[in-house]
Amino acid sequence: NHYIVCGYGRMGKILCKEFKANNVDFVVIEKFEENLKDEEDLLYIIGDATKDEILKSAGIKRAKGIISLLPSDAENLYVVVSARFLNPEIFIVARATDEEARIKLKMAGANKAICPYHIGGLRIAQSVLRPNVVDFLEFATGSEFKDIQIEEIFVSRDSKLVGKTLKDAKIGEKLKAIVVGIKRADGKIEFNPSASTIIEAGDIIIGIGSLESLSLLSQMASGEKEII
């Protein structure tokens, strides 16, 4: 139930730092040992991630996901195809240099393909058009600032929230959390659900609130805690 990170370059380093901060188990595959010097507390394999035996030694068959951040689109495509072949269920993310590569990586079996220049260009546009929204979302998605978070919370069938409306569950009133979306078990998303919306088992609640209120909501949604 671990993740495999292929390539320990600039993006790989940032990703691994976030994984550590979130207690995610992962192993890095990197070709050049010198790129790993001075790294403490990092599980890694020196080798070429386009080779099946290296992917196997990283435990691809039992891994939850693989993130391919090799320098070229060709190498990342190769890893996507190899990973999908070795583990049909694995969640695959790959880096793309442009929109063309993004489409090909998804065709080859990547669940997500991310183009840093595309995301960077959009972010710059947003920081000019909506600077305060960008700041708000940086606070909400970053883990340093605990007063405001945006989280997804799975509703278990054991939760006492099941069958209650948002109003009766008192998520706003008592928990001081806001439900901005509910993804239903069939994949449909209800945006800004009204107070009379009924919570169902298998829902994924998109909530905004303090770390503390969202942790409480999460415990209520898992069935670990009674509702308040």
Residue 108 or 151 with smaller CB distance to its own copies: 151
Residue 81 or 150 with smaller CB distance to its own copies: 150
SS3 at position 163: coil
Q: How far apart are CA 69 and CA 7, in angstroms?
A: 5
Q: How far apart are CA 178 and CA 213, in angstroms?
A: 10
Give yes or no for residue 65 binding its own copies (CB under 8 A).
Answer: yes
CB 8 within 8 A of CB 34: no
Q: How far apart are CA 93 and CA 98, in angstroms?
A: 15
Give yes or no for residue 122 binding its own copies (CB under 8 A).
Answer: yes
Q: What x-and-dash track marks residues 146-165 binding Ca ion by CB under 5 A?
A: ---x----------------
Q: Which stretches of 87-115 are DSSP H helices?
A: 99-107
Q: Which residue is nearest to Ca ion (CB)?
A: 145
Among 32, 145, 158, 194, contact with Ca ion (rule: CB under 5 A): 145
Residue 72 or 194 with smaller CB distance to its own copies: 194
Give yes or no for residue 3 binding its own copies (CB under 8 A).
Answer: yes
Among 71, 121, 163, 202, contact with its own copies (rule: CB under 8 A): 121
For its own copies, the binding residues in 123-162 under the rule CB under 8 A are: 123-133, 135-137, 139, 141, 147-148, 150-152
Residue 56 or 123 with smaller CB distance to Ca ion: 123
SS3 at position 30: strand
DSSP-assigned letter for residue 43: -
106-115's contacts with Cβ under 8 Å and 24+ in sequence apart are: 108/77, 108/80, 108/81, 108/84, 109/80, 109/81, 109/83, 109/84, 110/68, 110/80
Element (H, E) at 3: strand 3-6
Residues that bind Ca ion (CB under 5 A): 142, 145, 149
Residues that bind its own copies (CB under 8 A): 3, 9-15, 18-19, 22, 24, 65, 67, 69, 91, 93, 95, 97-98, 112, 114-133, 135-137, 139, 141, 147-148, 150-152, 176-178, 180-181, 183, 189, 191-192, 194, 204, 206, 208-210
